[in-house]
Every structure is written in C-alpha cells, then in structure tokens.
Amino acid sequence: MKVLVTGAAGFIGHHVTRRLAETGRCEVLGIDTLDAYYDPALKRARVDRLAGLEDFRFVQADCADAEKFPALVAHWRPDYVVHLAAQPGVRHSMTHAPAYTRSNLEGFATVLEACRRTPPRHLVFASSSSVYGAGAVAPFREDAVTDQPVSYYGATKKANELMAHSYALNHGLHITGLRFFSVYGPWGRPDMAPTLFASAIRAGRPLPLYNAGRNRRDFTYVDDIVDGVVKVLLYPPAVPPRPPLRLYNLGHNRPVETLLFVRMLEELLGRKAEVELLPPQPGEMLETGADLTRIQAEVGFTPRVPLEEGLRRFVEWFQGYYPPEAG
C-alpha cells in the first residue's frame, strides 16, 4: 500500500514515516518544505535517518501549492494520507499570523481538495489540544465546546476540523483528526519546552517559567503518538460514521506542572536550573489533559511510555545531538 506523509521532515512526521516504512507493508512518500522556521539542518538530519529505508522516498514540496500538490497526489495515487505539515508554535502565532494562515489553512485546504480529486482510503490529519481553549475543563473530552481558542494557532486547528467536516459531509472522504497533546521525545523541535529547558539548564542560563511554573501539561511521548497515528490510519472502522469524520484525543492522561517537568530534567542532566517564575503568558492554556475514553474504546489506544522513561530517552538523544556550549 502507498502512504503519503506531509511534514515528513518534522518531529512527529519523521517518526511516523519511519514506523510506516519499517513495517514492510507500506511504500511511503514523504514531502516537506524544509523551511527555516527552525534550523533546517535538524530537518535534513531527520530525512537522512530515513534515506536508508527501502520503502521510503522524499520530495521537497509545499502542500500549500494549489497546483503542484494536487498533481503530485494524482500522479502517485496514495492509498492513505497522513497530513502532519503545519506551522507550529502557540506563542509564535500571536505575532506571525500570516504564516499560519498559509500553512495551516491554505495548506490543509489544498490537501483536502487533492484528496477530493484523488480519494485515498483514509486521510488522517493533525489537530491539537489547543482547540479546547478558554473555558475547557481537564481532562478534555472530544465532545466539549471548542469555539473559544486562546491562540491563533488553536484557531487554525479548529478551522481544520470544520474544513474536514465539510469535505467528509459533502464529498464522502474518510477523515480522522487527532488532537495531539504536548508531544516530546528524541528529534523534537528546538522551540519546544523539553529542548528549551534542557538547553538552559545545561548552559546555566536563566529559565523563565510562566504562571510561576504551575501550568499543567499532558506530556505525551512521541512513540505513543506514533502508535496512535498508525492504529487510526490503517484500521478505519468497518462502518464509518455519517459524515465519515472522526476526532480523537491523543495524549497521555497524566498532566504534570512544568516546574516538576523541570525538576525531572535537572535530575537527568545533573544540574540545577536557574528558574525565573513569571506571570502567565497571553495565548497559553493553564492546563491540558486528554480524556482517552473514546480512542481507547474505538481504537484500543493506550499510552505506554511513562514520563520518567520518556524524558530519559529524550535527554540521551539531546546530549548526543547538541554539543555543550563552549565557555
């Protein structure tokens, strides 16, 4: 079977691509723009890890290109599509909204239209816990009201779910959206909390913690996320819902305060953090937590990697990939 993965050089995308290509059941085509939102060298290093896999090919392309991307899909005719390409970052979206409009809205519109013209068996796309927004009470359930996102990033992800509903309803596309919760692990983005925190601790730099470190996050190890993506992708329901759209939380269901997260990193790195406790940041949620009742019942997903083990694996990778700063 053929699987197209957008955002294949990204953090989650490269792990999903590797898992699929290693099954021996999938021919995987990965696409990515390799843009400079963060160091493209990390993205190229991820692609290099995939290059030796027999069932993997990579094309540098932009899924927001309304002419070239549908033509690529029509030429390759994938059986399954995993759409993980996006402009990430909650705080960044507060000051760089146009980038999110193009990547997250125009990009997803192009993916949907390409799938309408050349329908796959199943399209799975990345949503986010950021859709829950103001007024949400953890643990978040998929049927909770999600019309008050507190960031523009969250607004684009909510819009993606509505766009998917429209295409599922009107064109019969089989689509599943996955609301990811605070994904971490090896090969993570440098702008995400684990790498930012670990870098500051190791270098002895001040580490700002907003809301005095009391924000609670449902940190979910990337291998668990990949397990969920692959299960959902390859085993759609025998009788799809009407319209054929499903939404699932994909998290760990064990929120922890960011200050505790930092303390755990301190122990693994063998250094104390110079913590600066600051007020809450605009656009940030105070707590996230995934209710997994629906995905456990319908898909059989259960996270397996505890935070203690996941952080140990992350730190092992971090220390190997990033050399200590000089001085």
Give Cα separations from 76 to 54, 56, 85, 143, 236 (angstroms).
Answer: 17, 13, 18, 36, 22
**Sole residue written with tokens 């702008």:** 191
Q: What is the largest CA-CA distance in the chain?
A: 61
140 phi/psi in degrees, rounded to 5: -75, 135
Distance CA 167, CA 204 (A): 50
Residue 22 three-state SS = helix
What three-state secondary structure class fits 63? coil
CB contact at 8 A, 180 and 126: yes
3-state secondary structure of 314: helix
Q: Confirm whether 153 is a catalytic residue.
A: yes
Give just the sign of the alpha carbon dihedral 145, 148, 151, 156. Answer: positive
SS3 assignment for 160-227:
HHHHHHHHHHHHCCCEEEEEECCEECCCCCCCCHHHHHHHHHHHCCEEEEEHHHCCEECCEEHHHHHH
CA distance 196 to 278: 16
Q: Which residues contact 114 (CB under 8 A, 6 or more apart)?
A: 69, 70, 72, 73, 74
DSSP designation for 115: H
The one catalytic residue in 132, 152, 153, 221 is: 153
Distance of CA 115 to the CA centre of its chain: 21
Torsions phi, psi of 324, nearest 5? Answer: -60, 145
Q: Beta-carbon neighbour count of residue 165 at 10 Å?
A: 15
Active-site amino acid positions: 153
